[in-house]
Amino acid sequence: MNTISVTRRAAVLAFAMALSACSSTPPEDRPSTQVAPGTQSRPVLSGDEAQNFVQARYFSSKNKDEAPWTPSSIRIPAQPDFVVGAAGGEGVTHTSIQAAVDAAMIKHSNARQYIAIQPGEYAGTVYVPAGSGSVTLYGTTDNASDVKITMPLDSEIDVNTWRRAVNPSGKYMPGKPAWYMFDNCQSKRSATVGIMCSAVVWSQNNGLQMQNLTIANTLGDSVDASNHKAVALRTDGDKVQLNNVQLLGRQNTFFVTNSDVQNRLLTDRQPRTLVTNSYIEGDVDVVAGRGAVVFDNTDFRLVNSRTPEGSVFAPATLPNIYYGFLAINSRFSAAGDNTAQLGRAWDVEASENGYSAGQTSNGQVVIRDSVINEGFNNAKPWGDAAGSKRPFTGNTGTKGEKGEIQRDLNDANANRMWEFNNRGVGSSVVEEAK
């Protein structure tokens, strides 16, 4: 079985530096050439419109009387509550991450519980349940590659195969905090376990924090590119923070949902997530799902070892929600030349030709102030929707008497995927035929 190398990030960054050294003025350092309104294939925001798409807007509350979430940097305590590492190691309280999570949740404390993880590779799933308090998982060094949580998991395996792979030694048992999560998946009556149960790390914890670690679904190239979701990290909780985290996989590497404890997608929740200084790698719909997620200073890398075409984002934003995914000050790179796509909507409720404007999910994404390399398709950077297969339709609006752009940025008859002030070879807007 081919597996994913967690050292690939270093190789990619070194290659990028080598390319930059060949030019006195690298394309990513040149001013953006993106001009509003863009084209129907590549809509571009104006400066005034872009002011709506900032972190505070994405982190606003559905409760109008509640202030937006304003996350601060993750704080690492002098003394953690639990330490995970090899048996007999200094300060070690548990030899598995799941055991430490269970111990933290059993305390039923409203205080945040800090779990330090010593360098090493930790094979197997980790489930962080909903509870009264929040959990912080962090590697004890600044190198995210020093702590690796790994496992190959395929959404297309049957439930019995999944059960044997995930729980070979009985770490999920009745009475333990995460039992309900495992039991929900093992009780499925479908032919396959599906995307909802294919995550290496799955959290329903509000306020979850992760720092200085790597999560890898190592299914890799051992399966074809048809329909094998293989999630590295799935989060369902609100106010989640990831910093200096590497997420490695292929399809649906990072899956963000608004699910409840019965593992059902909801229509009345908008969980919020902040990802900073991180690296996310995959090939198809690398970041997918519901919720408001802001990526700041994050590297997105599309690999094409299974498929020549791929897509970074697959949002399933509810039609009555204005904010889905925002990437700012980030970098997008793809192998190949002018073939990859920045994303596509995921019309999760709809079958082919079943999109209903204002009723079906209408994914929302903004990529701004970022660098896009030559691997992306300039003429068609956004793909047709998953599920309904509706063709991508950008909203260019109309121009008023003073040249101002007039358009409804949430028009349900158009896609809600936008760019602003991006640069690099892959950011060029190709003029469309009249």
The model's pLDDT over 325-347, given as tens digits with 9 standing for 90+, comes to 999 999 999 988 889 999 999 99
**Mean pLDDT within 238-259:** 97
Return mean pLDDT, the chain: 92
**Mean pLDDT within 202-222:** 96
pLDDT value of residue 64:
82
- Nearest C-alpha neighbor of 362 from the set 394, 322, 318, 325: 318
Q: Is residue 2 part of a domain?
A: no
292-296 and 325-328 as β-strands: parallel, antiparallel, unpaired?
A: parallel
Q: Tell me: pLDDT of 219 over 80.
A: yes
Q: Tell me: pLDDT of 269 over 50.
A: yes
pLDDT value of residue 305:
83
Q: Is residue 235 part of a domain?
A: yes
Q: Please state the domain count of the chain.
A: 1
> CA 320, CA 329: separation in Å to the nearest integer?
27
pLDDT value of residue 411:
96
**Mean pLDDT within 261-274:** 92
pLDDT value of residue 434:
58
Confidence band, pLDDT 50/70/90 cuts, at residue 15: very low
Q: How many angstroms separate the most distant Cα atoms in the chain?
A: 75
- Nearest C-alpha neighbor of 286 from the set 300, 297, 296, 276: 300
CATH of the domain at 241: 2.160.20.10
Q: Is residue 20 part of a domain?
A: no
311-315 and 292-296 as β-strands: parallel, antiparallel, unpaired?
A: unpaired
> CA 201, CA 162: separation in Å to the nearest integer?
14
Q: Tell me: pLDDT of 70 over 70.
A: yes
Residue 327 CB coordination number (10 Å) = 28
**Mean pLDDT within 95-110:** 96
| Helix/strand/coil for 273 | strand
Whole-model pTM? 0.93
pLDDT in tens, 223-236: 887 789 999 999 99
Phi and psi (nearest 5°) for 74?
Answer: -65, 130
Q: Is residue 355 part of a domain?
A: yes
Question: Helices (H) and strands (E) in the chain — how many of each?
Answer: 6, 26
pLDDT value of residue 20:
41
**Single-letter amino acid code for the residue at 33:** T
> CA 372, CA 421: separation in Å to the nearest integer?
11
**Mean pLDDT within 161-189:** 96
Q: Is 119 exposed, middle or buried (0-12, 13-18, 19+ CB in 10 A)?
A: middle
Q: Is residue 14 part of a domain?
A: no
Q: Is residue 12 part of a domain?
A: no
Confidence band, pLDDT 50/70/90 cuts, at residue 306: confident
Tokens of 324: 């889905």
Q: Tell me: pLDDT of 57 over 90.
A: yes
Q: Is 243 exposed, middle or buried (0-12, 13-18, 19+ CB in 10 A)?
A: buried
pLDDT value of residue 6:
52
**Residue positions annotated with a catalytic role:** 285
Q: Is residue 343 part of a domain?
A: yes
CA atoms within 13 A on the CB side of 64: 0
pLDDT value of residue 22:
40
pLDDT value of residue 431:
80
Between 7-11, 132-136, 306-310, 375-379, the lowest mean confidence (pLDDT) is in 7-11
DSSP codes, 240-262: EEEEEEEEE-SBTSEEE----TT
Question: Considering the chain, what percentage of its residues have pLDDT values greater than 70?
Answer: 94
pLDDT value of residue 83:
98
**Mean pLDDT within 7-27:** 47
Q: Tell me: pLDDT of 48 over 70.
A: yes
Residue 136 CB coordination number (10 Å) = 23
| Helix/strand/coil for 180 | helix
3-state DSSP helix/strand/coil percent for the chain, to nearest 5? 15, 30, 55
Domain span at residue 106?
30-427
Q: Tell me: pLDDT of 1 over 70.
A: no
N residues, the chain: 434
pLDDT value of residue 24:
52
Burial 177-200 (b: 16+ CB within 10 A, else e): bbbbbbebbbebeeebbbbbbbbb
- Nearest C-alpha neighbor of 375 from the set 341, 345, 343, 344: 341
For residue 37, whether the previous peptide bond is cis, meaning omega lies within 30 degrees of 0, is yes
Comparing 335 with 153, which gets the higher pLDDT? Answer: 153
- CA angle at residue 147 from 141 to 153, to 5 degrees? 160
Tokens of 156: 């297309």
Q: Is residue 10 part of a domain?
A: no
> CA 35, CA 37: separation in Å to the nearest integer?
6
Question: Is-contact 224 149, C-beta < 8 A?
Answer: no
The neighbouring-strand residues paired with 234 are 202, 255
Between 8-12, 188-192, 208-212, the lowest mean confidence (pLDDT) is in 8-12
